[in-house]
Amino acid sequence: MADTSNTQPKVPHVMIVGAGVSGLLFAILLKRANIPFDIYERAQTVKPLGAIMSLNVNILPVFEQLGLYDDLMKISFTSPGMHVHNENLKEIGYRDNDGIKTMAGYDYIVFSRPQLYDLLLAQLDADKVHFGKKLVSIKNLLEGVEIHCADNTSYSGDILVGADGAYSAVRQSMYKELSEKNQLPFSDTQGLQIGYITMVGTSDSLDEDKYAELKDDFTHFHFIIGKGKPYTWSTFTVPGKRICWGVQIQLKATSAEDREFKNTEWGPEGNEAMIKEVYDFPTTYGPLGQLIDATPRERISKVFLEEKMFETWFSDRVVLIGDAAHKMLPSAGQGAVNAMQDAVILSNCLYDIANDATPKNIATAFKEYKDQRYPHVKFQFDSSKLMAKVIFGQTWSERLLRRIVFGYLPKSMLHRDTIKAAAYRPQCTFLPLTPSRGTHPPLPQKPSKRYQEEQSQLNKTSTAAATA
């Protein structure tokens, strides 16, 4: 790429590829930071797919900063704990969340993913989200970056953010260029590790007289371990008298290698065979098929659960967030949270250089973003792998591990790791901070030099005006 070190400073225009949860939150943050942006999404329309999502202290303070916390709570239930059953529906363990709010300041909350999506999308002007824009290629320009889409349209900007998922087209294009220059680490040339297949859905509103747990204003979370089969399945009650459900299949290494895992889009294709397999699985509400039949087929989706920590997160004017940079199993409930934290930290870093977005400063911001995020993502990545074994695992060693965790480990030990993870709760440094809550304080965060200078100038101006 040509040297652009003498380019005149300007506020960058940011192009975001991918209108998932992390892409939308990032756009909201840029809007609040007065940084211009556009989102390009490959899907033609919003797809109301997905089941349960969970958020916690690691990201909820940001929703308060944005004034979205109350709206989020309206579509959420708190989660008092998780019941684990064997296939005969005998409870073999219970992991409660007692004391978590006192220590961390927030409850765990759960909700249906489409409702969070709608909440975030509603914060953006319609003309900022462009659907039907499948990325084909990226081209570095003298003073920016250009994307080309499958519909023969092209768009240019100063910064490109890949928020387009585990099989990110942005990452693939960036990695191809780096590989041709022999600048890509060998580990980043390896594919994602496939461990599980999952099918999920959210029922329509159900009769609370038939499903008594729907009368409560908190979630009932039941997890069931299959006997003699590589399946686990779960149910959650959510607002609106609905039940989210999910089924996971643990893959053997050989079966994962034999499969083609190229299409990871949420969608109804190929679901019927799996539905037939799991239709009679028992739940605390009766056969799983009852919940499946109460879920419109177009809202049932089957996806692959992969894991991968990439080392290369940025190059030139291109940077990755969320699953595009690190894909982890969702067992620990941190996949979406980590993606949102990426959005928060990257927006902080861009805010600090937005008034002087030279190529050098953009590179500095990208490096600062990865330096701040990588250690915490790695911690959650390792935790997610371990939790997947405890929850989804079907080998004899994983079953033994599950028995130890739920049967013998004291609650204090389980909560210790939870509180350690809860200490990391980054906020937007260019907005007034949410007060620290809970008995255990958060980790310190690097402040925004630009924001501090702006606030200092505002205070001086206010003082001078009051004196006058």
Asked if residue 53 has pLDDT above 90, the reply is no
Tokens 């001086």 sit at which residue?
Answer: 460
Contact between 162 and 18 under an 8 Å Cβ cutoff? The reply is yes
Asked if residue 68 has pLDDT above 50, the reply is yes
Return the CATH fold of 14-48+121-192+308-452.
Answer: FAD/NAD(P)-binding domain (3.50.50)
Residue 218 three-state SS: strand
Q: How many CA atoms lie within 13 A of 139 on its CB side?
A: 10
Work out the pLDDT band at 399, boundaries 50, 70, 90. Answer: confident
Work out the pLDDT band at 9, boundaries 50, 70, 90. Answer: low
Work out the pLDDT band at 224, boundaries 50, 70, 90. Answer: very high
Instruction: Transcribe 394-461 into DSSP letters.
Output: -SHHHHHHHHHHHHTS-HHHHHHHHHHHHT-----TTSPPPPP-SSSPPPP-PPPHHHHHHHHHHHHH
Q: What is the pLDDT of residues 231-245, one digit of tens each?
A: 999 999 999 999 999
Sequence ranges of the domains in the chain: 14-48+121-192+308-452
Distance (Å, whole) CA 303 – CA 263: 8
Distance (Å, whole) CA 64 – CA 70: 8
Give the mean model confidence (pLDDT) for residues 7-31.
90
Looking at residue 259, what is its pLDDT?
47
Q: What is the pLDDT of residues 178-207, one digit of tens each?
A: 999 999 999 998 877 767 788 999 999 999
Helix pair 335-353, 359-392: axis angle to 10 deg: 170
Contact between 172 and 325 under an 8 Å Cβ cutoff? The reply is no
